[in-house]
Structure 1
Amino acid sequence: MNSFSFKIPQEIICGVNSIEKLPELLNKQELKKAMVISGPHLNKMGVVKKITDILERAGLTFDSFTQTEANPSVETVDKATKVFVDSGADCIIALGGGSPMDVAKAVGILAKFGGSIGAYEGADKVPGAIVPLIAIPTTAGTGSEVTAFAVITDRSRNYKLTVFSYELIPAYAVLDPTLVMTTPEKTAAACGIDALVHAIEAYLSKAASPFSDAMAEKALELIGNNIRLFVADRTNPEAAANMLYGSMFAGIAFAWARLGNVHAMAHPLGGYFDVPHGVANAILLPTVLEYNALADTGRYQKIYDAIKCGEGWEDFTSQTLVDEIRSLTCALGIPKTLGEVGVTVDKIPAMAVDAMKSGNILVNPRSTTLEQIEALYRLAL
């Protein structure tokens, strides 16, 4: 067994209406003015106002930036950073899915240390603590509220750059199930599969440890038992809470165990074709699982058991899990192939080169070459 270490360097608050504790969290840190970073859809729906109303009732001042987009860009980070600095805010509240949280983390770096976000690409280049950050997820999927990553699209290169540092983990994460109960069905499906992929890849990672395994196994249990129910009816309070908490556990798992080929290959799909991250993961997962089967040490059965809600198996093979994943994504209405979401064969060589730059390739359970990544893209196409 590899040596390992871990820590949970944040406070996580869970429960219905837990967002009402925001003023308490800000006062605890003696913070005076917050900037809420979110997206236009959540702003239009009134979710941003729900947060700012809580701050206003408590007599706290705030500003907001609600222009984050899917696969957020370097330009958006720069714009949000200027708004933050000009506002005089001393902390950030990230509200939304992975995109607002990635932007918030990037702003937290640049507002504190300056420069461009590209200068921090890679591992452990953030020199110290970033601007205080509170993360409030409104989707059950990314787990960004507990992870050490920020992924930003550099459109000049059609490339998704990743910043990895444990300094990026928000000081507080507030998990309020009421905020995910208005998620559109397609978003719930894509985000739910994203969380499932986080748990699976962390569980199969070469860097997995007893700690990350514990988090991944709980995530698999919660997501496997609830993803169908949640997508079918997002207003189901128990399913919503369990998906939100499952996503959080999966995020903690991959924060310490990393991921694998699915995520390494998914990021270029967002960079070149703007494929939603969860959809890219869902399409790639069966193909990568087939490829990784050669390295399976018995964990495929445990994953299958979780997804099948403890029904067990007869004559299990690795293909049994692959077929079940394909059945699940089909039932959730997710496209089956990359071709269905507009990916073209001519970009495969360039995407494969970008995928190989990911540190996730190194911890994928089966060693992978550039040529094999190209072949996997073609199979998924």
Structure 2
Amino acid sequence: MLFTMFHNVSAYKQSKEAIAMNRQFDFLMPSVNFFGPGVIEKIGDRAKMLGMHKVLVVTQDNLAAIDNGPVKQTLASLEKAGVDYAVFTGVEPNPKIRNIKAGKKMYEDEGCDSIITVGGGSAHDCGKGIGIILTNGDDITKLAGIETLKNPLPPLMAVNTTAGTGSELTRHAVITNEKDHLKFVVVSWRNIPLVSFNDPMLMLDVPQSVTAATGCDAFVQAIEPYVSVDHNPITDSQCKEAIQLIQTALPEAVANGHNIEARTKMVEAEMLAGMAFNNANLGYVHAMAHQLGGQYDAPHGVCCALLLTTR
């Protein structure tokens, strides 16, 4: 299947190559990206370095409840650095407008000055959404689209726990309007977290179903930028490497979640894919997957996997 895919797009790629090599393009990603086992211990020091005094930690209740899990480790690092925090556990899968409004209220009530998201794409998108309405107006639906934000978000860091949506690296905030069951995206360079953390040790106990779904999302996010009209030589190389990594690492990560080598390769792949689509954009699979997920509140990665194979 993979050979056929590359064979079918080879002529397309060759016809665009001269344009890609001779046009201008920008490349957006967080200023600092920590990667590898144990990097979660650096969160507190980095928060202190950025002048964060009281952080709103944005996460899901199931993650917050895990003993010595990602949230507890994040809080321990903040405490060690002397950084105060409040914990918002109101993130739902496919985060809703009601989630970001509730998060904004806690941020203001607690006197927070910054945000740290802990989780997968839902936590990161919710945290971005909270930041957006804190500084750009309460009606986020009016901000759907590209570069609609006039004001910077509060300082934002992202601790990633799945491999993955790539949202810890990107300018996209995907929010569900629960009233009409539609997803919309706020795309802005202002949404990009200042710092991302990808610690594969946090992913060893991610369930098989979540590992498979988020891995399929990463796979689609490596394919679509490769055939995008906005591709460039940097994103092309990232996409190809991500696809090769996912081919070998995802089956092993699903079968044996405690295989740290497979988990690490999946983190590498999702970071590469995230950087690629952040700059070369996505395609029809994601356009349809967003609305399928919005209508049925289905896992995003599952929607992507189903639609990628649709003929």
Give TM-score, length-normalised by structure 2. Answer: 0.90
Other-structure match for 2:257: 234
Q: Residue 70 in 1 paired to residue 93 in 2?
A: yes
Q: Residue 61 in 1 paired to residue 88 in 2?
A: no
Other-structure match for 1:141: 164
* Residue identity in the other structure for 2:60: G
Other-structure match for 2:224: 201
Q: Distance in 2 between matches of 1:167 and 1:24?
A: 23
* Residue identity in the other structure for 2:131: G
Choose the corresponding residue for 1:99, options 99, 116, 122.
Answer: 122
Q: Distance in 2 between matches of 1:31 and 1:141?
A: 27
Q: Distance in 1 between matches of 2:135 and 2:95?
A: 20
Shift of 1:225: 2.0
Q: Distance in 2 between matches of 1:5 and 1:184?
A: 37
Secondary structure at the aligned position of 2:65 is classed as: helix
Other-structure match for 2:7: none
Residue correspondence of structure 1 range 174-323 to structure 2 within 5 A: 174-287=197-310, 290=311
Give unmatched runs, 5+ long, in structure 1.
Answer: 291-381
Residue correspondence of structure 1 range 78-89 to structure 2 within 5 A: 78-89=101-112
Q: Distance in 2 between matches of 1:211 and 1:90?
A: 35
Kept in 1: contact 2:28–2:278 (CA 8 A) = no
* Residue identity in the other structure for 2:49: K
Q: Residue 28 in 1 paired to residue 66 in 2?
A: no
State the Cα RMSD in Å.
1.2
Residue correspondence of structure 1 range 16-55 to structure 2 within 5 A: 16-46=37-67, 47=69, 48-55=71-78
If asked which structure has higher relative contact order (CA below 8 Å, sep 6+), I would say 2
Q: Residue 11 in 1 paired to residue 35 in 2?
A: no
Point out the more displaced range, 44-53 or 144-153.
44-53
Kept in 1: contact 2:115–2:156 (CA 8 A) = yes
Q: Distance in 2 between matches of 1:32 and 1:272?
A: 39
Other-structure match for 2:11: none
Shift of 1:50: 2.0
* Residue identity in the other structure for 1:60: V
Q: Distance in 1 between matches of 2:202 and 2:169?
A: 17
Q: Percent identity?
A: 39
Shift of 1:58: 2.3
Secondary structure at the aligned position of 1:5 is classed as: coil
Q: Distance in 2 between matches of 1:128 and 1:248?
A: 27
Cα displacement string for residues 211-265 of structure 1 (whole angstroms, at most 9, x for unaligned residues): 2112212211221220111111111111111101210110110001111110000
Kept in 1: contact 2:214–2:301 (CA 8 A) = yes
Equivalent pairs, count:
288
- Which has the greater radius of gyration? 1
* Residue identity in the other structure for 1:30: G
Other-structure match for 1:301: none
Kept in 1: contact 2:156–2:194 (CA 8 A) = yes
Q: Distance in 2 between matches of 1:75 and 1:106?
A: 11
Q: Distance in 1 between matches of 2:58 and 2:26?
A: 32
Other-structure match for 1:298: none
Kept in 1: contact 2:100–2:126 (CA 8 A) = yes
Q: Distance in 2 between matches of 1:92 and 1:154?
A: 22
Runs of 4+ residues deviating >3 angstroms: none
Secondary structure at the aligned position of 1:45 is classed as: coil
Kept in 1: contact 2:29–2:192 (CA 8 A) = no
Other-structure match for 2:150: 127
Shift of 1:9: 4.2
Q: Distance in 2 between matches of 1:131 and 1:221?
A: 37
